[in-house]
Each structure stands twice: as structure tokens, then as C-alpha cells.
Amino acid sequence: MASARMLMISGIASGQGKTTVTAAIARRLVREGRRVRVFKTGPDYLDPMILQRACGGEVYALDLWMVGLDACKRLLVEAAEEADVVLIEGVMGLYDGDPSSADLAQAFGVPVVTVVDAGKMARTVGAVVLGLQQYGPVKLAGVVLNRIASDNHRNQIVQGLRDMPVLATLPRQTESLPERHLGLVQPDEIAHVDQLLDRLADAIALDMPAWEAIAPVEVMPDEPSAPPAQLLAGRRIAVARDAAFAFAYHANLACLRALGAELVFFAPLADEPVPADANGVYIPGGYPELHCATLASAARWQQSMRDAHARKVPILAECGGMMAITESITDADGKAWAMPGLLPGRVAMQPRIAGLGMQSLATEDGELRGHAFHYSTLETGLSPVGETIRRSNGAVGEAVYRHGSLTATYFHAYFASNPAATARLFLPEQA
């Protein structure tokens, strides 16, 4: 039996300040000597980067569908065995999504804390919190009041909360975590990010008696599962990793290693070529559209991608990774930039979202789960070899293309949902 103080930090909607509050609490507790683990609900790359910077440890996704109930449980058991406090940042509103943050909290008996942007409310906060408490079967342990203007403002809110504990308050901040079209920006893009996180930790007022009154959650470990077959033993997979290609789940890299692969990393933005001895390449998603000029001038990297493709090295290019290996990317200003051209076709940015949501791909090894989220479109003469299915309505989702040894798609696969299908992506066709 493993136990730790666990909290689901949720809210009534996006934009309430869940990531800011979670990061502030995590940094505050770490500075006080607590061992803190943080998770993020649902598919997300950017919030976990901020949370990871705040707590100093890797932040994994928890989702009852994409990750799976058993895998979520294993992750929570591991966290409870090594940490005093486990924080889980929810997604959107508490009851949004299928499964929702409330479903995840209920599955493991995790108390819920709701973050409320109280900047334009006072006693009405009590009605909002009461609605969250009564709407569904969650154990609401308290609230965090965000963007508080004054002590008088806080007192008015508390009067309306009746007996609901206020676990923390965060005053209005002159500086917030910046965002762009896919969400928050990456930590390395924020000047003095650690100083900003320290200021948030200094500013958040924790009610420690109320905090300590929350009982630890006990999680019973299952029998250890058998490790996946070493289908990638002896294979050296080169993974693109820099500011343009940062959207790779820790769980994806861990899955490749569990399959027996050795991972090596290279940075296309630094014009680093694919290592010559790599016999697999993974180009994850990210923000290539923000680095078009650099990628277009990265002659060594571009040629190394063409060489690897010519040698029939298996290549997986996901979302931003796929964008960067087409013939060109047209940026938001309408300028086209030449890319390596492994995938015949052109990508163009657009102001509106082009793909979103949980999806699955049927493979000969079973279902591979994941999601899509992109603001660009691909124009290509290739016919897809497969298409994902949207979980929300069963409609066709993202196309999957094969061109020689290249597999390219907007679909972000969660590798651990099907290790065998994942391994096949990095094996030669005849294997």
C-alpha cells in the first residue's frame, strides 16, 4: 500500500489559473523541503513543461482513456512511494471531457480542490463552488482563490463559502505565464522563468492547517505487469529534441527504452544531423512554424533527413515533425519556407484550429491511442494508408501517410497504449 497527500487541482473552466496555482503550490512546497510529484490530466505538452520546472521532476499525463486505468494507477503508486505530496492538474472544467477530471479523481479517491478566478466575483464564488460540489460525485476538499484584490475582497468571498475551506489564495499578479496558439509558451522562452515561479510561490498564501487536514490517499499496487517484449532491442533511435520539437511525452521515450531501444538526441535548430549510426528516427511535434527560417537554413540537418530516408531508415514524424519534413511550411505571415521534402506536399498555417481531440488508430497489433491538436493543414497528392477515429463521435480524424520508410501524421500517438504497434513504426518493413 502506497499513500501520499493527493489533490486534483481543477476549476470551472480553462483560464481560471490552474497551471499557475499548481506551479506556485509545487514550487512553494519543494522550497519547504517536501517531496512533490505533479501530473497533468489529459493530453498536454506545454503545461507539464511549466509544472516540471516548478517541481523539478518529470510530469506525466494521467488520462483514463489514453493512458488507461491500470497505467494511471501504476503511475500514482510510484509517485506515492517517493513523494509526500502528489498534485494533479485537471483539464478544462472539472466535469468537462469524457473521461473528465472528476472521473479521474473519483477513480482513485483523490480529493478535489477547485481554483476560482475571483477577480470579478465575491460572494457568488460560494454559489459556483456549491454547484461543483453538488453536481457530481467528487470529494471537494476546498478552494483556491485566484486574483484576489485585497483582504476585504477575500473576506467577502469567505462569507459566501459557508464551511468550505480556503486552502490558498493568490493575489492579482502583474506578470503571468504567457500563452500562444497551442497554450502556454515553453519555459525556456520565458525570461527569468525560475524567478517568476519563485515570485508566484512567494505570493501564494497556503492555509497549512487546512492543508494538513486533508487525509492521505492510499493506492494499492497491482501485481507487477510483464515488461513488453524487447522488439526494438539493438536499435538506436534518434529523437529530435529542441525548441521546435519538444512535444514528446516522457512516457513515449520510456516506452521506447522499455522496448529495448537506445535513444540518442539531436537538435535540428542547431543544424545537428541525424546520427549516422541511427537505425530509427523520431521527429515529435512542437513549434516548427516559429523556427522556419532556422530550419530552412539547416542544410546539414535537412540533408541528413534525406539521406536517412534514402537508406530506408524507419522515420516517424508526428504533427510538427511531419510539418517540418514536407516540401515547405507557409507561416502565419504567408511566407513559404523550404523543408527537406521527405513527404510530398506543403503545409500552411491558419488562424483557426484544424484538428483537436482524442483519437485512435487501428493497427494490425490493435488500437493505438492518442490525440490531435494543430493549426495547420497539409496539401498532398499522397493517399493515406490509414485514418484515425475520433473518440468523441466515431468520425474520421487524422490521415496517416507512408512514403518509403517514412510514417507521417498529425496524430500524436501515446506509445504505451500499444507497445507492439509502436515498435512496428520503428522496424524495417520486412521485419
CA dist., res. 197 & res. 19, Å (int): 11
- Determine how many CB atoms are found less than 10 A away from the CB of residue 379: 12
d(CA 303, CA 286): 21
Query: Looking at the DSSP assignment, which residues form a beta bridge with residue 114?
Result: 10, 143
Residue 241 has phi, psi (to 5 degrees) of: -150, 110
Q: Residue 340 corresponds to which cell in the numbers above? A: 527537406
DSSP annotation string for 40-102 = EESS-SHHHHHHHHHHSS--EEE-IIIIIHHHHHHHHHHHHHH-SEEEEE--SSTT-TTTTHH
Indicate which residue of 72, 255, 292, 319 is catalytic.
319
Q: Is 255 a catalytic residue?
A: no
Residue that the C-alpha cell 501520499 belongs to: 4
Pairing of strands 85-89, 36-41: parallel
* Residue 117 burial (C-beta neighbours within 10 Å; 0-12, 13-18, 19+): middle
- Counting Cβ atoms within 10 Å, is residue 191 exposed (0-12), middle (13-18) or buried (19+)? exposed
* Dihedral pair phi/psi, residue 377, rounded to 5°: -130, 150
- Alpha helices, H only, 109-192: 124-135, 151-160
DSSP SS3 for 107: helix
* Alpha carbon distances (Å) from 142 to 76, 112, 134, 214, 257: 21, 7, 14, 9, 40
Instruction: Count the neighbouring beta carbons within 10 Å of the beta carbon of residue 271.
Output: 16
- d(CA 374, CA 361) in angstroms, rounded, equals 17
Q: Rounded CA gap, 415 and 423, in Å?
A: 9
Residue positions annotated with a catalytic role: 319
